[in-house]
Amino acid sequence: MTDQSKWLASARSKLGDLKVAAAFERVGIVEHCGDGIAINSGLPGVRLGGLIQIGEHGLAFALSLAEEVTRCVLLSSSAAVSAGMRAVDRQAVAQVPVGEDLLGRVLDPLGRPLDGGDPVKAERFDPVERHAPTIVDRDFVSEPLATGLTVIDTMIPLGRGQRQLVIGDRKTGKTAITVDTILNQRDSDVISIYAAVGQKDSAVARIIDAVHKHGAPERCIFVIGEAEAPPGLQWLAPYAACTMAEYFRDRGRHALLVIDDLTKHAAVYRELSLLLRRPPGREAYPGDVFYIHSRLLERAAKLAPERGGGSLTALPIAETQAGNLSAYIPTNLISITDGQIYLEPKLFYEGHKPAVNVGLSVSRVGAKAQPPVLKDLARHLRLAYAQFLELEVFMRFGAIVDERTRHSIEHGRRIRAVLTQPENAPLTLAEQSALLLAVEENLLDTLPLSTVPQLQTSLAASLKAEIPDISDRINQSGALDDQDRAALLAHVKQVLARLAQDAPEEDRKDGTTRPA
């Protein structure tokens, strides 16, 4: 048998097993494209949010339906799409991969790798738009979510399953707070998902680098819709990240979702809506801008034990202009979330970081989940700090004060110093407890302010080295009994004594701090 006859015999055997069937496709034509959108005709059966394949490399999803045309948002570069191309209804909605293989990866909102690694091995694909858990599927927020930031964990505590807004002007440390929260989960069972919306590549790279240096990147997912990405991908980023987080929540695990930020997300949605000729409303935003954020943030919840008991905590970020909390998007987000952490530019420029304005910040549910040790040690802290801030205003006018008032001011300055922390250095629960115990016992009032950051640094090493059993008990149980309290107080006094011996001679002579 010749080679040609052998080839013919092999082809006949393969063609004999081939099953031929008719395939149905909805095919339309691109009428217009540009600026991240495309208008197609001939697709009357496409559904809202449905994917549309344009040409070989173009991809879009339907955002507005009309009788004659379908208006779509491009998920690929506009350069890959031109008028006259075929538009095929893929009869599916936007989906993203979910599963354990996503951990440690940097992905775009469609689940495609951005870190140069292999394609993701997905356990399955879930829609980016999913229904929020119903009321009967939810449980009370009762477990703490530690941020490692003393000012938040003591005065604005968070719980697993909470939606807490981080809001403030540009360059006031909003992202730094959320990154520190991610870093603090390195020793916990919380999976962290960071979604970047319209952020610069350099800023995203710094965040990823910080997590790799100080955190646990193998338990994090980064979903990046950077500023150079098509507007459709930027709009899709928080929904895709939320779907990836829900995979862990629905399996009885705990997830933390950071969205940076929803102000840019609203601006992208406004841009797309105006290009699609949707009627503009207040500040040119479309009428459903509230709905797009509420349906996203409502997916964060603490599930009931019957549903596995998992949780999804959301930390969305919003930007204000000149501290205007009454603007359209900030008021929308404040009304959706369970509280807000407000960062004040004045505090930031004075060097008080995190620049949290305690008076305008609130946590509506986290106090019920606060660890008992912090609840006990910080029960008078907020009132004492508020009184100090009020007295400090009068001191700036050169008013003559009595000894009791001067003591309150010096005590308040130590409180503010304890609440100040460097970036990328979250504290454990035991370290926070030791600092608060020193404040409660007035151990810092006669010492220089420079002692406080030294004490923070010294406690981080000495607690693990000298009293590891007590430190582990506090970190694991969140409680402090009388015996451990006495031992912890004695240890703090020892550390302060060592710092006093190493202090310069002029600091030993003058323990009080001069007014700033």
Q: Indicate if 164 and 276 belong to the same structural domain.
A: yes
**CATH number of the structural domain spanning residue 494:** 1.20.150.20
Q: What is the pLDDT of residues 75-99, one digit of tens each?
A: 988 888 888 889 998 888 999 999 9
Quote the Cα angle for 313-318-321, to 5°: 160
Asked if residue 325 belongs to a domain, the reply is yes
Neighbours of 466 (CB within 10 A): 12
Domain housing 46:
26-93
Q: Which of 343, 369, 395 is the last residue of a domain?
A: 369
Q: Which of 55, 73, 93 is the last residue of a domain?
A: 93
Q: Indicate if 162 and 307 belong to the same structural domain.
A: yes
Mention every residue, 6+ apart, whose C-beta is less than 8 A from residue 23: none
Asked if residue 296 lies in contact with residue 336, where contact means CB atoms within 8 angstroms, the answer is no
Q: Distance between CA 237 and CA 202 in Å, rounded?
A: 18
The tokens for 502 are: 């190493």
Q: Indicate if 397 and 301 belong to the same structural domain.
A: no
Asked if residue 466 belongs to a domain, the reply is yes
Asked if residue 432 belongs to a domain, the reply is yes
Q: Which amino acid is at 145?
A: L
> In a 10 Å sphere around its CB, with 0-12 CB exposed, 13-18 middle and 19+ buried, how is residue 351 labelled?
exposed
Asked if residue 48 lies in contact with residue 62, where contact means CB atoms within 8 angstroms, the answer is yes
The tokens for 498 are: 């060592």
Q: Indicate if 115 and 57 belong to the same structural domain.
A: no
Mention every residue, 6+ apart, whose C-beta is less than 8 A from residue 399: none
Asked if residue 491 belongs to a domain, the reply is yes
Q: Distance between CA 259 and CA 236 in Å, rounded?
A: 12
Q: Indicate if 194 and 298 belong to the same structural domain.
A: yes
Q: Distance between CA 357 and CA 332 in Å, rounded?
A: 20
Q: Which of 369, 385, 412 is the last residue of a domain?
A: 369
pLDDT tens, per residue, the chain with 516 residues: 566 777 777 766 766 666 666 667 788 899 988 888 999 988 888 888 889 999 888 899 998 888 888 999 999 888 888 888 899 988 889 999 999 999 999 999 999 999 988 999 999 999 999 999 999 999 999 999 999 999 999 999 999 999 999 999 999 999 999 999 999 999 899 999 999 999 999 999 999 999 999 999 999 999 999 989 999 999 999 999 999 999 999 999 999 999 998 999 999 999 999 998 888 999 999 989 999 999 999 999 999 999 999 999 999 999 999 889 999 999 999 999 999 999 999 999 988 999 999 989 999 887 889 999 999 998 888 888 888 888 887 777 666 667 888 888 888 999 999 999 999 999 999 999 999 999 999 899 888 888 899 999 899 889 988 999 999 999 999 999 999 999 999 999 999 988 887 766 555 444 444 333
The tokens for 140 are: 């009370």
Neighbours of 516 (CB within 10 A): 10
Active site residue ranges: 364
Q: Indicate if 79 and 129 belong to the same structural domain.
A: no
User: What CA–CA distances, in Å, run from 39 to 28, 58, 62, 400?
Assistant: 10, 13, 9, 72
Q: Indicate if 301 and 313 belong to the same structural domain.
A: yes
Q: Indicate if 89 and 134 belong to the same structural domain.
A: no
**CATH number of the structural domain spanning residue 337:** 3.40.50.300
Q: Indicate if 362 and 407 belong to the same structural domain.
A: no
**CATH number of the structural domain spanning residue 30:** 2.40.30.20
Please count the structural domains in the chain.
3
Q: Indicate if 253 and 360 belong to the same structural domain.
A: yes
Asked if residue 12 belongs to a domain, the reply is no
Asked if residue 467 belongs to a domain, the reply is yes
Q: What is the pLDDT of residues 457-511, one digit of tens each?
A: 899 889 988 999 999 999 999 999 999 999 999 999 999 988 887 766 555 444 4
Instruction: Please give the model's pTM, rounded to 2 decimal places.
Output: 0.90
Q: Indicate if 400 and 483 belong to the same structural domain.
A: yes
Q: Indicate if 263 and 322 belong to the same structural domain.
A: yes
The tokens for 223 are: 């979903």
Q: What is the 3-state secondary structure (H, E, C) of 90-155?
A: EEEECEEEECHHHCCCEECCCCCECCCCCCCCCCEEEECCCCCCCHHHECCCCCECCCCCHHHHHH
Asked if residue 516 belongs to a domain, the reply is no
Nearest to 317 by CA among 203, 167, 113: 167
Asked if residue 472 belongs to a domain, the reply is yes
